Amino acid sequence: MDRAEAEAIYDAGREAVVEVLLAMDRRIAQLEARVEQLERQLRRSSRNSSAPPSTDPPGAARARRERGPSGRGQGAQPGHEGHGRELLPTEAVDEIVEHWPGRCACGHLFSERELERGVLVARHQVEELPELATRVIEHQLRRVRCPDCGCEARGELPAAVAGSAFGPRLQAAVAVLAVRNRVSRRDTVELCEELFGARIASGTVDAILARAGEALAGPYEQLADCARRSKHLNVDETGWRLRGQQRTLWGAFSQRHAVFRIAESRHADHAKTLLEGHQGIVTSDRWWAYDQLPLARRQICWAHLRRDFKAHAEGIGAEREFGQAGLRITDQLFWAWEIYQHTHDRKELQRRIRLLRRELKPICRCYAGKAPRYKYCRGIARNLLKVWPALWTFAEKPGVEPTNNHAERSLRGAVIYRKLSLGSQSEQGEQRIERLLSASITCRLQNRSLFAYLSELLAAHNHGNPAPTLA
């Protein structure tokens, strides 16, 4: 307002001035809350939230080492134990080349008899790729005229080779390059020609992936059944795209099996479908879609909690106090878990966790209060009290960890694939990538060759034989 408007309000009397001041105070409070909200969003990064590091702005502060520099140089330190390549046994090598001295340093030429008395003093092995080239097998169909009736009989292609111009091993190599190694279609074509001398096109890559996805239909259902019967699952979700539209990729992971499903959203109905029939323990974050699970069958991820506490610790007042207390307890919990991993003393782990429970619960009750100073930490404090039993399942149940890192590591490859491929372009493509990603991560969890498995799978599919299992 200008001076004339202010004088008019003043001349209107005491009540008019009070009303204007109260209105201005309300507006100032709204603006201050808005500024505080924007500042909180500005402080949000991968260090204090579930956002990936790729979303951090250029000026975002990086995590600093709590300890100062050690003063040592980079790399291996003097006196450390070496870790060189181990030599293969002699009987396992493909070729042996012997190197003999021709003469002595004094000029003496060694005779054949002197060389026969030589001894082996050193071995050096060189690994090299053979010259790679695809074998082109031509199937010729012949026609023969019958001398009795005069009819002509024609040879038929075997079913195993009639469906494709490429063999199962070449198809498996293409699928591994495209899915596990996330090579683009054009680069896959170039690599196949450069490494194998194979002539394929970009459309051929898609056709091979479609065939591999079709062959994985049975093994994929077996994987889903194994996940439902497992004692413990790690579950997480991430974004996906279908023709540019937002979708959600869900993942459920045991120690040996991985199952991916693409759904339209992160709604609880899709989590229920993914976990239908599962009676074991589920480790996840605090996303509300998992609230349908009984608390006795849940484990809340403490790595997510630590990032939440970190975000609150960067606030002010009561919020900062709450965050710092949570960080201290979280660090002590991870230290107790690290000790357990070395000693495997579960009773000692449970003793340490009981002390932390007694320390954290009064803190949550205090900061869950209705006082205005608790408004930014009240929500998480009340939520922790609501899911309280699910915070400590790992201390009681063998095989359960306090974090959901297993699921996040298993999802990482799928996230990179999505960023490079921009998701899927059809519903059939979604179904295909669900199966291929599930097979890829399952083979990795089982220390199994994805190439060898897909070669065996595609060969069995060509012959109409049962698919090899991933269970």
Residues in the chain: 471
Nearest CA among 336, 378, 374 for reference residue 357 = 336
The C-alpha atoms of residue 68 and residue 87 are separated, in whole angstroms, by 40
> Band of the pLDDT at 34, cuts 50, 70, 90?
confident
Residue 330, pLDDT score: 96
The C-alpha atoms of residue 220 and residue 435 are separated, in whole angstroms, by 6
Convert the pLDDT of each residue in 302-336 to its tens digit.
999 999 999 899 888 899 999 999 999 999 999 99
DSSP sequence for 358-380: HHHHHHHHHHTSSSGGGTTTHHH
Domain boundaries of the chain, sorted by first residue: 302-396
pLDDT at 60 over 70: no
Cβ–Cβ under 8 Å, residues 325 and 310:
no
> Band of the pLDDT at 227, cuts 50, 70, 90?
very high
Residue 61, pLDDT score: 57
Nearest CA among 76, 197, 49 for reference residue 132 = 197
DSSP sequence for 93-144: -S-------SB-TTSPBPPHHHHHT-----------PPPP-PPP---PPPEE
pLDDT at 445 over 90: yes
Q: Out of 12-21, 315-324, 426-435, 455-464, which region has the weakest mean confidence (pLDDT)? A: 12-21
How many CB atoms are located within 10 Å of the residue 326 CB? 25
- Name the percent of the chain lying above pLDDT 70: 93
Residue 68, pLDDT score: 64
Convert the pLDDT of each residue in 261-277 to its tens digit.
999 999 999 999 999 99
Residue 50, pLDDT score: 64
Residue 302, pLDDT score: 95
pLDDT (average), residues 229-240: 94
**Distance, CA of 328 to chain centre:** 28
Convert the pLDDT of each residue in 117-163 to its tens digit.
888 888 888 888 777 777 778 888 888 888 878 788 888 877 767 66
Residue 47, pLDDT score: 65
> Band of the pLDDT at 11, cuts 50, 70, 90?
confident
Higher pLDDT among residues 30 and 404, named by residue: 404
Higher pLDDT among residues 401 and 68, named by residue: 401
Convert the pLDDT of each residue in 90-109 to its tens digit.
899 989 998 888 888 888 88
Residue 382, pLDDT score: 95
> Band of the pLDDT at 458, cuts 50, 70, 90?
very high
Residue 37, pLDDT score: 74
The C-alpha atoms of residue 316 and residue 296 are separated, in whole angstroms, by 35
Sort 438 into a burial class: Cβ within 10 Å, 0-12 / 13-18 / 19+. buried
What is the pTM assigned to this prediction? 0.79
pLDDT (average), residues 43-49: 66
Higher pLDDT among residues 254 and 136, named by residue: 254
The rounded mean pLDDT for the chain is 88
Contacts with 68 (C-beta within 8 Å, 6 or more apart), sequence order: none
pLDDT at 197 over 90: no
Residue 240, pLDDT score: 93
DSSP state for residue 145 in the 8-state scheme: E
